[in-house]
Amino acid sequence: MPLNLLKLMDVDYKEEFAKEIETKFIRPSKFAQEIETLVQSEEGMSYIDAIVYYCEKNKIDLESVPKLISKPLKDKIKYEAMELNFLKRTSRARLKF
């Protein structure tokens, strides 16, 4: 086989492999985007509910979710949990005496 054809096959293989990886595995940025879309499109759906719904729909084990949660999404979940009294309210500001 000519070298150019091998290079083209290699490029096609890499693109196909990248697409396959994209469909099989989810990145934290994609996960956060999907959760945000659910919360915005479904009236009254909380972030916690959206995560549970998304995981059930896509057959994702809930125990693997912490690895997928980005910092901004984590902050929104934390705020929501405090509003629902699932977490104690905390203040990061410290008083100086």
Cα(65)–Cα(62) distance, rounded to whole angstroms?
5
* Cα–Cα distance measured from residue 28 to residue 71, given in angstroms and rounded to the nearest whole number: 10
Residue pLDDT, tens place only, 7-35: 545 556 667 656 665 666 788 999 999 99
CB 35 within 8 A of CB 54: yes
Residue pair 21/1 in contact by the 8 Å Cβ criterion: no
pLDDT digits (tens, 9 = 90+) for 72-89: 999 999 999 888 888 887
pLDDT at 40 > cutoff 70: yes
Q: Scan for tokens 């934290």, then name that residue.
A: 28
Write down the pLDDT at residue 87: 81
DSSP summary character for residue 40: H
Q: Work out the burial of residue 34: count CB atoms within 10 Å of its CB; fewer than 13 is exposed, 13-18 middle, 19 or more buried.
A: middle
Share of the chain above pLDDT 70, in %: 69
CA 26 – CA 73 distance, rounded (Å): 15
pTM of the shown model: 0.68
Taking 70 as the threshold, does the pLDDT of residue 45 lie above it?
A: yes
